[in-house]
């Protein structure tokens, strides 16, 4: 799940929690709040795996460049570059984390739709 979708998921859970607050459906409010926090924690774990994979790829490139006669100045410049997450880094995320974040994203959308329907009928 890309960074933008993770941000959208957090916004969805925030909106659903705000809409559910104070309309008499406390069970759904607390469920939405708990799932939103769980989603936020899982997104942090996904980000950790992505950054570790990007760092490993960066170090592998650096280690392979040194024997090729690249100057130390160029290596220092390369080391100053920020880590960039690419599509191949997403393969480092365990499948269970990917499935859980996707499932929680869809649950957040369903909770937001339910919250809006409850708010409109209230």
Rg from Cα positions in the chain: 21
Q: Kindly state the DSSP code that residue 91 receives in the 8-state scheme.
A: G
pLDDT one digit per residue (tens) for the chain, 122 residues: 577 888 899 999 999 999 988 888 889 999 999 999 999 999 999 999 999 998 898 888 878 777 777 777 877 787 787 888 888 888 888 999 989 999 999 999 999 999 999 888 86
pLDDT at 62: 79
pLDDT at 1: 56
- Residue 73 and residue 78: Cα distance in Å, rounded? 9
pLDDT at 77: 80
Q: Cβ atoms within 10 A of the Cβ of 36, count?
A: 21
Both tokens of 66, joined, read: 């040194």
- Residue 69 and residue 93: Cα distance in Å, rounded? 34
């Amino acid at each position: 799940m890309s960074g933008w979708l993770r941000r959208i998921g957090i916004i969805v859970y925030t909106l659903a929690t705000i809409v559910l607050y104070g309309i008499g459906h406390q069970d759904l409010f607390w469920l939405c709040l708990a799932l939103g926090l769980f989603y936020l924690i899982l997104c942090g774990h996904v980000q950790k795996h992505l950054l570790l994979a990007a760092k490993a790829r960066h170090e592998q490139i650096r280690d392979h460049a040194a024997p090729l006669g690249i100057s130390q100045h160029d290596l220092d410049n390369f080391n100053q570059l920020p880590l960039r997450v690419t599509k191949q880094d997403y393969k480092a995320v365990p499948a269970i984390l990917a499935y859980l974040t996707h499932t929680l994203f869809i649950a957040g959308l369903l909770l937001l739709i339910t919250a809006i329907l409850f708010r409109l009928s209230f």
